């Protein structure tokens, strides 16, 4: 039987060979003329200047890879998913060739609206902060080169891509397409787990069988999302665990969170003085320079210098809490609006000053707590072909069940207090510090 998507040039090249662009680790991305046309636009080239992990590079020196590289990897995964799913008659009946090409374009452009340090900034949930979806719309507007390339080279309307990235209309087919881009076993996670792990120099995100997982892909019972066959169960379990460990050991590593806390407090103090619509369309280097200029002469200038200056000088961890260690204190801080964390920190600073007997700078203490939004829970069905029924992975997997019964965030994301290095030495071993924090957190 002829594969329904074989006529798509990039999928044909995936199987037969053709022009490629090569990215780590050993990935050969089909690079047809129309893919090149999208990649060469100013809107896409902008992603070269935005690092994928931002502040993590201050702790993991190799983690300087860009969203440009990641976008190519996600596009490659989209091709692999479509080749596999095209063998599923239900998928091929739901997603025609044109829609498959829309999904490919959406995969390549999925990070289009992101700006430098997007995630730590969005985690703060600050007022008047434009969502990154606004920039996706801007970069896909009819006046942009990118929109013209989509129309002339791909015969795709920019609104079609935008509807996948920023849902406007709804249908079973769109649900299915979106689940490939953003779902439990999506092409985004499939790339960033491996890529971030590779560049950070750790093995955690690469310890699952991607090929086996992709080969097990099929449509779920409702027809509006992905499922996997039983042969992919072990690979799915390992992917769940890989994601858990990457959050624990890389994304929420205590030193990464120290740099993130220093950046967040600095941004909080100066962002109202900046034109964010303009700032967020600039390169990472330009954003850092703008923040440092605005911070000159303010209490947050040393924070930005410690993160981005010629000599790294990060705040040190004083205490940290998880839900199972100190549930009451954890719950009192986790999920609080950022401005409330700043208020708690100000009160804590005054308490510490009284007990130590000397004046502190207002940014000598920083509180880092999980944001209000939660990571998407890993929910995917397993199809058992012999019995012909679907069951949730969490029902047949002790690994996934253990994670599903607890909140992923509550155990991998900690509440931490960081202090300027000399102050951290003074506070080290002071058991009463927890009592001071508890008193400061009461409203």
Residue 203: both structure tokens together: 């093995």
From 210, 238, 211, 216, select the one nearest 383 (Cα to Cα): 216
pLDDT at 294: 98
> What's the 3-state SS for the chain?
CCCCCCCCHHHHHHHHCCCEEEECCCEEEECCHHHHHHHCCHHHHHHHHCECCHHHHHCCCCCCCEHHHHHHHHHHHHHHHHHHHCCCHHHHHHCCHHHHHHHHHHHHCCCCCCCCCHHHHHCCCCCCCCCHHHHHHHHCCCCCHHHHHHHHHCCCCHHHHHHHHCCCCCCHHHHHHHHHHCCCCCHHHHHHHHHHHHHHCCCHHHCCCHHHHHHCEEECCCCCCEEEEHHHHHHHHHHHHHHHHHHHHHHCCHHHHHHHHHHHHHHHHHHHHCCHHHHCCCCHHHHHHHHHHHHCCCCCHHHHHHHHCCCCCCCEEEEEECCCCCHHHHHHHCCCCHHHHHHHHHHHHHHHHHHHCCCCCCCCEEEECCCCCCCCCCCCEEEECCCCEEEEHHHHCHHHHHHHHCCHHHHHCCEEEEECHHHHHHHCCCCCHHHHHHHHCCC
φ/ψ of 419, rounded to 5, equals -135, 150
Q: How many CA atoms lie within 13 A of 290 on its CB side?
A: 19
Provide the CB-side half-sphere exposure for 105 (13 A, CA): 28
CA torsion, ordered 262, 275, 161, 147, to nearest 10 deg: -130
pLDDT in tens, 3-47: 999 999 999 877 777 899 999 988 999 999 999 999 999 999 999
Give CA–CA dist 189/183, Å, rounded: 9
pLDDT value of position 394: 87
- Integer Rg of the chain from CA: 23
Give the residue among 111, 45, 49 at the shortest CA–CA distance from 284: 49
Distance (Å, rounded) from C-alpha 245 to C-alpha 237?
13
- Diameter of the chain measured on Cα atoms: 80
Instruction: Report the 10 Å Cβ neighbour count for 313.
Output: 13
d(CA 30, CA 72) in angstroms, rounded, equals 10
Cβ atoms 324, 334 nearer than 8 A: no
Domain boundaries, the chain: 9-235, 254-370+413-440
Tell the residue number behind the tokens 């994670």, with chain if given.
403
Tell me which residue of 188, 197, 247 sits closest to 407, measured CA to CA. 247
**Which residues in the chain come in under a pLDDT of 70?**
1, 376-377, 404-405, 443
pLDDT value, residue 376: 60
Please say whether the beta carbons of 49 and 283 come within 8 A: yes
Query: Cα 231 to the chain's mean position, in Å?
Result: 28
Nearest to 283 by CA among 47, 16, 38, 37: 47
Query: What pLDDT does residue 404 have?
Result: 67
Give the pLDDT score at 1.
Answer: 64
Contact by Cβ (8 Å): 281, 112: no
Domain 9-235: state its class.
Answer: mainly alpha
């Amino acid at each position: 039987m002829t594969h329904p998507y074989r006529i798509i040039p990039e999928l044909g090249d995936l199987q037969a060979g053709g022009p490629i662009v090569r990215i780590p680790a050993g990935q050969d991305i089909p690079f047809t003329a129309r893919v090149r046309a999208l990649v060469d636009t100013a809107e896409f080239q902008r992603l070269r200047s935005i690092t994928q992990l931002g502040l993590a590079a201050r702790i993991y020196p190799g983690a300087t890879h860009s969203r440009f590289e990641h976008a190519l990897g996600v596009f490659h995964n989209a091709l692999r998913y479509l080749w596999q799913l095209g063998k599923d008659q239900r998928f091929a009946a739901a997603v025609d060739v044109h829609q498959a090409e829309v999904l490919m374009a959406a995969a390549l452009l999925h990070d289009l609206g992101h700006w430098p340090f997007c995630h730590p900034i969005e985690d703060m949930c600050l007022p008047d902060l434009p969502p990154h979806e606004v920039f996706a719309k801007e970069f896909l507007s009819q006046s942009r080169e990118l929109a013209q390339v989509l129309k002339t080279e791909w015969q795709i309307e920019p609104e079609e891509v935008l509807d996948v990235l920023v849902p406007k209309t709804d249908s079973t087919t769109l649900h299915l397409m979106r689940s490939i881009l953003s779902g439990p076993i999506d092409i985004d996670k499939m790339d960033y787990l491996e890529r971030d792990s590779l560049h950070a120099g750790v093995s955690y995100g690469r310890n699952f069988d991607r090929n086996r997982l992709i080969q097990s892909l099929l449509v779920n019972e409702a027809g509006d999302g992905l499922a996997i066959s039983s042969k992919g169960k072990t690979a799915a379990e390992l992917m769940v665990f890989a994601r858990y460990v990457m959050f624990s050991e890389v994304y929420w590593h205590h030193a990464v969170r120290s740099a993130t806390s220093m950046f967040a407090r600095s941004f909080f103090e100066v962002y109202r003085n900046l034109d964010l619509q303009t700032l967020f369309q600039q390169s990472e280097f330009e954003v850092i320079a703008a923040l440092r200029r605005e911070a000159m002469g303010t209490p947050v200038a040393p924070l930005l210098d410690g993160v981005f200056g010629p000599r790294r000088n990060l705040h040190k961890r004083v205490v940290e809490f998880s839900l199972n260690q100190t549930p009451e204190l954890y719950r009192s801080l986790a999920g609080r609006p950022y401005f409330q964390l700043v208020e708690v920190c100000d009160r804590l600073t005054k308490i510490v000053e009284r007990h130590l007997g000397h004046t502190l700078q207002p940014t000598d203490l920083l509180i880092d707590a999980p944001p209000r939004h939660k990571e998407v829970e890993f929910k995917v069905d397993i199809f058992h072909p012999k019995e012909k029924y679907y069951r949730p992975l969490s029902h047949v997997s002790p690994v996934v069940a253990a994670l599903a019964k607890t909140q992923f965030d509550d155990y991998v994301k900690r509440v931490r207090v960081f202090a300027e290095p000399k102050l951290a030495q003074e506070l080290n071993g002071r058991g009463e510090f927890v009592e001071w924090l508890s008193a400061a957190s009461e409203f």
